[in-house]
Amino acid sequence: MKELIKEGLKRQLKIKYGTDIEHANKGEIFSSLSTALMETIIDDWNNTTDIYRERKQAFYLSAEYLMGRALGNNLISLKLYDEVKELLEELNVDLNAIEEAEEDAALGNGGLGRLAACFMDSAATMEIPLRGYGIRYSNGLFKQNFKNGFQYETADNWLTYGDPWSIRREKEKVIVHFNGMDVYAVPYDTPIIGYDSKNINTLRLWKCEPIESFDFNVFNSGRFDDSVLLKNKAEHISRVLYPNDDTREGKLLRLKQQYFLVSASIQDIIKEFENLHGTDYSELPKYVAIQLNDTHPVLGIPELIRILVDEKQVKIDKAIEIAEKIFAYTNHTILAEALEKWNVEFIEELFPRILEIIEEIDLRFIKELVEKGYSKEEINEFRIINDKQVRMANLAIHIGFAVNGVAKLHTDILKDIELHNWYELYPDKFQNKTNGITPRRWIRLCNKELSSFITELIGDESWVKDLSKLKTLEKYADDKKVLDRFMIIKKEKKVQLAKYIKETSGIDINPDSLFDIQVKRLHEYKRQLLNTLYVLDLYYRIKENPSLDIPKITFIYGAKAFPGYRRAKAIIKFTNDVANLIDNDPVVKDKIKVVFVENYRVSYAEKLFPAADISKQISTAGKEASGTGNMKFMLNGAPTFGTMDGANVEIVRESGEENNFIFGLTVEEIENIRGKYSSKEYYEKNKDIKRVVDSLIDGTFNDEGTGFYKELYKSLIEENDQYLLLADFEAFKLAEERVFKAYKDSEKWAKMCFMNTCNAGIFSSDRTILEYAKDIWSIKPIQNK
């Protein structure tokens, strides 16, 4: 295999770039090596596709896939990493440098997109017939950089060296119809390589292209810009993930993206069904299950019905019945803003036939509820169309045959509180599927040192496909030699992270300090602001008492704020200003440090998770559906500092509360104070809270006339602190004191970290995807022999 890859690499360098290994740059070597590896897997990929078609398949529809880099992960899955590393060393090339040359495929923003990526990996490894569908955003989300503490966004040109890990399927493109505009959806297929398996699954991403890319006559008349108007209009649809929807045009573009995704995907699914099984569409549920990843792809429901009724002459009763057996819906949040509602006028403007079908579903649903004795007020809560808006979650729950939450607490909240009326109506639809992470990327690739040690202790690498085997390591929990080696590896990962931050940002951090890390999407409910208010309070306490007995600490943040989300941007600016205040204070700067890493992404996460001493998971209880970052930290040996929220509940259950740091109000306690809570009372009675909150408006920091800090102050005091930062402030401080005390006892700390790794096995996405396959999709593994 080594010689085969070597010859392929040389051949591709010559064909693609007209160069050789001695003169090629890192990007050219990355692209050519990837293409050479693609040559070796094509047969297995095609064979897997063929055998999957013989039986029922699941199709995963998601607006996001936060895939990250492909080369290293694929080498791990092919079990070729060491062989290729050795090959490149013989050619005087550093594999790590080649990996760094690859741009992240930043086609996602947070946990939703990364979960979809982990599911793709696990389905291939567990040999589950699952195909992913998404959009091939040419510019992804955005690249983030900071200037004077403010976030700025630039285009993410992730296709600088092309995309050697995808194949354009020109012959399989379809036409998507909008009102007054037709476009092509062109599929690009990416192989998802199963670890230690010949199964190679497919992620199909659609690129939007015009039917006519250039109007020759318009160009010749001198209207040069107008000649490519349709081309630009089409390409905008697949240009950027989550375009800013502050404007009417932005909202319409988002809605176009969603319909583009589902129309192309449903057409593709039906076309394949017809080619294999004919035109008896009542047989569709026998071969097809479609999972809707949140509300973004819910338009797939009326689109399937439209195609069956308008194009395949299926009666609407039958078409709806078929849809009810095919679609399942994953709810990722209880936040109202994420349970999408679209103005009726927008849907009518873009695809009026889809609105007609939704109206028909709504009318039938109302009739069903009337017959069951529901009142008008109760029916209004269920209606799919209400207040001139289409409620996508309602459509998904009504038609879908299964509805799942993504952590036990989240599912319980859905059933008992947020969707209780739906649960009473459809109790058999609701399930829990606790999220998971792929062990391949999140330990085997990103923490090779710890992976090798685990393999040594267990005796083989079988744990990479069966993470539950980590539990057997508990027998070493009191073995000083094992714990010492475990912590030596942790220190090594901290040194590596410090080196990377210095190289990329010019910032020095002390690897001997406690790395307290909070990395995730920026949102008020995730409470990055609470963390920063705590850091500022700690700063003031050190100023008052320079001999304060605490370990040296580095607080590390990573997060992107949506371009139109002012308060999220304000939190970034505030955190960077606090970092600057500390850096310029000779009394404090050697004791604590704050670093907000730029452009947080999957490849950066792969360096952060293994280096963490503490995993900050501090969302307001009841707001975080699950979290997957908490699982990645746990797997790499970091105790959780968090609220009893999302999957934190299950993390604590598995690894023990004694090995984590839990603080703050619980869901039940928050329910009890609902309507009674007054943030002003906390503000006025607690001088530490007042001091840090007042810093937002007393001139301590300068937001340069943006009004950012007044807005944060307003959210905490005038709007009664919706996410209860001030209510949890003192508990947060006490939990940090527990961290400092535990960290001083090196043996106790090592055991806490080790016990987290030992008990992370249940959080494998391999387990999650097998549960989806068995409990929702009713499909079994199929092995490509």
Q: For residue 624, what are the CA distances in angstroms to 186, 240, 338?
A: 36, 26, 12
Whose CA is closest to 662, among 635, 645, 641? 641
Q: Average pLDDT of 207-225?
A: 77
The answer to whether 573 and 703 have CB atoms below 8 angstroms apart is: yes
- Sorting pLDDT into bands at 50, 70 and 90, what band is 162? confident
pLDDT value at residue 231: 81
Q: Average pLDDT of 71-88?
A: 97
Q: Which listed residue (521, 523, 593, 607) is catalytic?
A: 521
Q: Measure the N-to-C terminal CA separation of the chain; round to a whole number of Å.
A: 19
Whose CA is closest to 746, among 535, 514, 553? 514
Could you report the per-residue pLDDT of 465-499, keeping only the tens digit for each?
Answer: 999 999 999 999 999 999 999 999 999 999 999 99
Q: How far apart (Å, rounded) are the C-alpha atoms in residues 777 and 57?
A: 8
User: Taking 70 as the threshold, does the pLDDT of residue 228 lie above it?
Assistant: no
pLDDT value at residue 714: 98
Q: Do 307 and 183 reside in the same domain of the chain?
A: yes
Q: How far apart (Å, rounded) are the C-alpha atoms in residues 154 and 240?
A: 11
Q: Which listed residue (136, 332, 573, 591) is catalytic?
A: 332
DSSP 468: G
pLDDT value at residue 140: 87
Q: How far apart (Å, rounded) are the C-alpha atoms in residues 74 and 164?
A: 12
Q: Which listed residue (35, 125, 628, 757) is catalytic?
A: 628
Q: Average pLDDT of 717-732?
A: 98
Q: For residue 211, what are the CA distances in angstroms to 39, 186, 187, 267?
A: 32, 11, 15, 17
Rounded to the nearest integer, the mean pLDDT of the chain is: 96
Q: Within the chain, how many helices (H) and strands (E) appear?
A: 33, 23
As a whole number of angstroms, the longest Cα–Cα distance in the chain is: 82
Q: Do 610 and 549 reside in the same domain of the chain?
A: yes
Beta strands (DSSP E) in 303-451 are: 327-330, 341-343, 385-386, 389-391, 402-405, 430-432
Q: Do 420 and 449 reside in the same domain of the chain?
A: no
The answer to whether 260 and 238 have CB atoms below 8 angstroms apart is: yes
Q: Which residues pair with 145 in a beta bridge?
A: 152
Could you report the per-residue pLDDT of 416-442, keeping only the tens digit for each?
Answer: 999 999 999 999 999 999 999 999 999
Q: Which listed residue (341, 465, 526, 623) is catalytic?
A: 526
Could you report the per-residue pLDDT of 600-624, keeping only the tens digit for each?
Answer: 999 999 999 999 999 999 999 999 9
Q: Is residue 696 part of a domain?
A: no
Q: How far apart (Å, rounded) are the C-alpha atoms in residues 118 and 436?
A: 8
Could you report the per-residue pLDDT of 331-342, keeping only the tens digit for each?
Answer: 998 877 778 999
Q: Do 469 and 556 reside in the same domain of the chain?
A: yes
pLDDT value at residue 216: 60
The answer to whether 685 and 678 have CB atoms below 8 angstroms apart is: no
Q: Is residue 374 part of a domain?
A: no
Q: Average pLDDT of 15-28?
A: 95
Could you report the per-residue pLDDT of 670-705, keeping only the tens digit for each?
Answer: 999 989 999 999 999 999 999 999 999 999 999 999
Q: Which listed residue (632, 643, 767, 768) is catalytic?
A: 632
pTM of the model: 0.96
Q: Which residues pair with 592 in a beta bridge?
A: 553
Q: Do 304 and 406 reside in the same domain of the chain?
A: yes
Give the pairing type, strands 143-147 and 150-154. antiparallel
Q: Is residue 523 part of a domain?
A: yes
Q: Do 80 and 228 reside in the same domain of the chain?
A: no
HEC states along 567-612?
HHHHHHHHHHHHHHHHHCCCCCCCCEEEEEECCCCHHHHHHHHHHC
**Which amino acid, residue 216?**
F
pLDDT value at residue 222: 74
Could you report the per-residue pLDDT of 622-637, keeping only the tens digit for each?
Answer: 999 999 999 999 999 9
Q: How far apart (Å, rounded) are the C-alpha atoms in residues 134 and 123?
A: 16
User: Taking 70 as the threshold, does the pLDDT of residue 182 lie above it?
Assistant: yes
Q: How far apart (Å, rounded) are the C-alpha atoms in residues 748 and 654?
A: 18
Question: 754: which residues sit within 8 A by CB, 6+ positions away?
Answer: 473, 476, 477, 482, 483, 486, 637
Q: Do 638 and 542 reside in the same domain of the chain?
A: yes
Give the helix, strand, coil percentages of the chain, each rounded to 5. Answer: 55, 15, 30
Q: Do 424 and 511 reside in the same domain of the chain?
A: no
Q: Do 773 and 635 reside in the same domain of the chain?
A: no
Q: How far apart (Å, rounded) are the C-alpha atoms in residues 60 and 117?
A: 11
pLDDT value at residue 772: 98
Give the pairing type, strands 640-642 and 661-662. parallel
pLDDT value at residue 694: 98
User: Is 332 a catalytic site residue?
Assistant: yes
User: Is 56 a catalytic site residue?
Assistant: no
Q: Do 424 and 457 reside in the same domain of the chain?
A: no
User: Taking 80 as the threshold, does the pLDDT of residue 380 lie above it?
Assistant: yes
CATH number where 647 lies:
3.40.50.2000
∠ Cα 302 306 308 (to 5°): 120
Give the pairing type, strands 167-168 and 65-68. unpaired
Q: For residue 303, what are the CA distances in angstroms to 319, 369, 392, 401?
A: 11, 24, 13, 17
pLDDT value at residue 99: 97
Q: Is residue 561 part of a domain?
A: yes
Token digits of residue 236? 């905008």
User: Is 35 a catalytic site residue?
Assistant: no
User: Taking 80 as the threshold, does the pLDDT of residue 215 lie above it?
Assistant: no
Q: Identify the domain containing residue 14 by its residue range.
A: 1-52+70-103
Q: Do 193 and 61 reside in the same domain of the chain?
A: yes
Whose CA is closest to 613, among 644, 577, 641, 576? 641
Q: Which listed residue (306, 341, 520, 623) is catalytic?
A: 520
pLDDT value at residue 568: 98
Could you report the per-residue pLDDT of 123-133, keeping only the tens digit for each?
Answer: 999 999 999 99
pLDDT value at residue 768: 98
Number of structural domains in the chain:
3
- Sorting pLDDT into bands at 50, 70 and 90, what band is 161? confident
Q: Do 454 and 519 reside in the same domain of the chain?
A: yes
- Exposed e or buried b per residue across 505-532, where buried means at least 16 C-beta atoms within 10 angstroms of its C-beta: eebebebebbbbbbbbbbbbbbbbbbbb
pLDDT value at residue 218: 65
pLDDT value at residue 227: 65
Could you report the per-residue pLDDT of 278-295, keeping only the tens digit for each?
Answer: 999 999 999 999 999 999
